[in-house]
């Protein structure tokens, strides 16, 4: 490029220049990147200035994870290395879900089902998602008709009250859709659903629906690397919900707590230790105020999930010993949702891998595959660990990683 900010895809850029550019785009100082990598600031500077060459694959993969680089070619400049770390395969039901989202409901002449009927179907869909090992397959079969009917109900509502109720259902259907779309090659669709869900939630006037829409929007911003936008969404929504928490019931308290954790997650990504654990503490206090058996169907926020959240905070802060301590204290079997349990086990595997315990990390990934194969198949962190261990100096670990790679569809 002749003018403006250099493009990380420019072939003429050195590895060090690419690293510096991507670091600056994430708003990271060298000190922060060094801390997240477990390296010295002088190491980061030496790599960026070209005094050290391109790191080995394991370090490249860690850099890609920390910087949220989706394709290693963006970091290395090697067009022969197009490894997309954070996108899984396109599901066979993706096209049907896309068609339902893109359909124009006003063109349909059929009558929409009652909101109560949609509510019952939506509750059943959430239960199915949490109990199924192949949860994307289950959601992909349910979503097309749910999306179409919820859009129709919103369009055909005859009164303001009915329309607000229908909009609340539609917002939650879009939330369910985001769980299906996440980590698939459909980022345009994911953003469309996130934005539509937020609009529907606001139109419903339901604080809980607004909280859920914001929770999902914050995740979309953070996964896209826009941490400032994620912070803005969580901060504003927490402030709006806070005065409603005392009288709002368990659902409002749970979504408020879930948003506080999301703020902590983003702070951990920034390397802000105090802020990250401060938000976790606030979320934990909220969880303790919930009934013992309560489990939020969208966010999984509950007492039992806070241990899993602690593992995530420690891992994102690159605190190896602390992340293992939290992993060993958190009981995966207590989490009733199979995909959420598998996600927690992937976070545990990240902790062990960060702490240089790769054998344990691979064993935990095996457990995650047993809990919910579709979760690990679409999870970039799991794929990164497997990819790194395929390059291990240990033949035993290479073999075990190879078996996992076949299981999750990385190798055929």
pLDDT per residue of the chain (412 residues) written in tens, 0 to 9: 333 334 444 446 788 888 888 888 877 888 888 887 878 888 899 888 888 888 877 788 778 877 877 677 777 776 555 555 555 678 999 999 999 999 877 667 788 999 999 999 999 999 999 999 999 999 999 999 999 999 999 999 888 899 999 999 999 999 999 999 988 888 889 999 999 999 999 999 999 999 999 999 999 998 887 889 999 999 999 999 999 999 999 999 999 999 999 999 999 988 899 999 999 999 999 999 999 999 999 999 999 999 999 999 999 998 889 999 999 999 889 999 999 999 999 999 999 999 999 999 999 999 999 999 999 988 888 988 998 888 788 999 989 999 998 898 876 5
Domain shared by 39 and 134, yes or no: no
In a shared domain, residues 57 and 106: no
Give the Cα separation of 85 and 67 in Å (integer). Answer: 12
**Residue 296 belongs to a domain:** no
Assess if residue 270 is contained within a domain: no
Q: Do 161 and 187 belong to one domain? A: yes
In a domain, 231, yes or no: no
Domain limits at 363?
304-412
Q: Is residue 86 part of a domain?
A: no
For tokens 């590895």, what's the residue? 15
Give, to the nearest 10 degrees, the angle between helix 94-102 and helix 135-156: 10
Q: Could you give phi then psi for residue 32, rounded to 5 degrees?
A: -65, -50
d(CA 236, CA 36): 27
Q: Classify residue 192: in a domain, yes or no.
A: yes
If asked whether residues 34 and 109 sit together in one domain, one would say: no
Tell whether 400 and 337 lie within a shared domain: yes
Q: How many domains does the chain have?
A: 3
Last residue of a domain, one of 189, 205, 221: 205
Give me the helices (H) in 157-248, please.
Answer: 160-181, 187-204, 207-223, 227-241
If you write DSSP's letter for every residue of 117-132 in order, what string do you get?
HHHHHHHHHHHHHHH-
The CATH number covering residue 67 comes to 1.10.260.40
Q: Do 70 and 159 belong to one domain?
A: no
């Amino acid at each position: 490029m002749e003018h403006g900010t250099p493009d990380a895809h420019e072939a003429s850029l050195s590895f060090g220049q690419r690293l510096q550019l991507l670091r600056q785009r994430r708003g990271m100082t060298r000190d922060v990147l060094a801390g997240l990598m477990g390296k010295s600031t002088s190491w980061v500077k030496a790599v960026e200035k070209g005094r050290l060459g391109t790191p080995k694959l394991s370090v490249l993969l860690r850099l890609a994870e920390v910087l949220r680089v989706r394709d290693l070619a963006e970091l290395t400049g090697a067009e022969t290395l197009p490894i997309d770390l954070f996108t899984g395969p396109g599901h066979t039901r993706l096209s049907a879900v896309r068609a339902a989202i893109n359909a124009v409901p006003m063109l349909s002449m059929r009558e929409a089902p009652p909101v109560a009927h949609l509510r019952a179907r939506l509750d059943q869909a959430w239960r199915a998602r949490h109990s199924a090992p192949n949860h994307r397959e289950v959601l992909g079969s349910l979503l097309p008709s749910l999306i179409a009917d919820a859009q129709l109900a919103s369009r055909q509502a005859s009164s303001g009250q009915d329309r607000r109720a229908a909009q609340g259902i539609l917002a939650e259907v879009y939330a369910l859709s985001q769980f299906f779309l996440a980590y698939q090659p459909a980022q345009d669709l994911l953003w469309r659903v996130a934005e539509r869900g937020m609009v529907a939630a606001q139109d419903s006037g339901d604080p809980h629906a607004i909280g859920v829409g914001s929770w999902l929007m914050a995740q979309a911003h953070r996964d896209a690397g826009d941490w400032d936008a994620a912070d803005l969404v969580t901060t504003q929504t927490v402030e709006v919900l806070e005065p409603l928490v005392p009288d709002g019931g368990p659902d409002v308290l749970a979504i408020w707590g879930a948003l506080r954790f999301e703020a902590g997650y983003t702070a951990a990504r920034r390397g802000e230790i105090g802020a990250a654990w401060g938000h976790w503490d606030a979320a934990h206090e909220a969880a303790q105020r919930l009934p013992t058996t309560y489990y939020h169907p969208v966010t999984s926020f509950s007492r039992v999930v806070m241990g899993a959240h602690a593992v995530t905070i420690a891992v994102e802060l690159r605190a190896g010993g602390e992340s293992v301590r939290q992993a060993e204290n958190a009981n995966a079997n207590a989490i009733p949702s199979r995909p959420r349990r598998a996600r927690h086990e992937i976070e545990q595997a990240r902790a062990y891998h960060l702490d240089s315990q790769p054998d344990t990390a691979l064993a935990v990934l095996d457990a995650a595959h047993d809990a919910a194969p579709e979760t690990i198949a679409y999870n970039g962190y799991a794929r990164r660990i497997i990819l790194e261990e395929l390059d291990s100096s240990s033949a035993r670990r290479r073999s075990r990683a190879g078996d996992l790679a076949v299981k999750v569809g990385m190798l055929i």
